[in-house]
Amino acid sequence: MGVPDFQSVMLPLLQYAGDGEEHSHRETIEALSETFKLSQEERKELLPSGRQPIFDNRVGWAKTYLAKAGLLDTTRRGYFKISRRGRDTLKEKPRKINIRYLEKFEEFKEFRDKKSEKPADKKKIANEEPGDRTPEESLESAYQNLREELVEELLKTIKDSSFSFFEQLVVDLLIKMGYGGSRKEAGQAVGRVGDEGIDGIIKEDRLGLDIIYIQAKKWENTVSRPEIQKFAGALQGQRARKGIFITTSTFARGAVEYVSKIDSKIILIDGHRLADLMIDHNVGVSPVASYDIKQIDTDYFTG
């Protein structure tokens, strides 16, 4: 069946509260999980941020929207019960409850209007079909879209750069990730050898307790298994146990399968992951804006 969207949760949630009893948020999640026959895997499925289960988030927002429409009353922290309006709504036996249905209630319309600061935005919202995503899901989806666009832009810029700049980029990234000691030491350890990429060694940590052999290729073509086999052979020749192979392109399935079967530890970093690491460690990118999403600190209010 899959995890239902938060609007699909609204009617079952109101029906669950229809017994007139006080219910906690946690027990409601468990009960609705049974209603929708969710598997353990579906119950544990997380938002892209990895901080909250998707279903928990959707139940929470369904409850918030029903409360804003006056169908649920908050009795105490983390608990709620159905309101008189909620009971009257159930008597009408609606086929479904969604955002459009809730807009019949003035309190909910005021709540929705406050979410839009510009009149033009209000008009746009009125003409749009309500989405099935919660606010967190919409925000995370927008973030992921922006990040994907940035990844593509980074890859194009890297591929258009010179080989020497690519060498510098790899060194800068490894330094930011904690490898190589100082910038000067890393620059000496990693040097170009002339095969459209760079080859070299770098310290695994600032103390140099272990050495990592590096090969990086600014390629368009997919890196095949023979290329990785050559790299593994180079590791053996250097008596090295660890290696990182970085490319601006992709790795063939055979190459990925090969590194999973050999004794040497070889990490494969394709173009997409390279761009991701650059974004995560602020190499070649700079922050434009930051938004902190906050929630109630329940520990603070527990006394």
Distance CA 77, CA 301 (A): 9
pLDDT tens for 130-171 read: 467 888 888 888 888 788 889 988 998 999 888 888 878 888
Residue 117 has a pLDDT of 45
Residue 198 has a pLDDT of 53
Cβ atoms of residues 33 and 156 within 8 Å: no
Residue 172 has pLDDT above 90, yes or no: no
**Spans of all domains in the chain:** 6-133, 161-280
C-alpha 79: how far from chain center: 30
CATH topology of domain 161-280: 3.40.1340
* pLDDT band at residue 267 using 50, 70 and 90 as cut-offs: very high
Q: Give percent above pLDDT 90 in the chain.
A: 48
Distance CA 158, CA 169 (A): 9
Q: What is the pTM of this model?
A: 0.62
Q: Which residue in 43, 46, 11, 15 sits closest to 30, CA to CA?
A: 43
Residue 118 has a pLDDT of 42
Residue 64: partners with Cβ closer than 8 Å, 6 or more residues away: none
Half-sphere exposure of 161 (CA within 13 A, CB side): 19
Residue 270 has a pLDDT of 96
Residue 166 has a pLDDT of 87
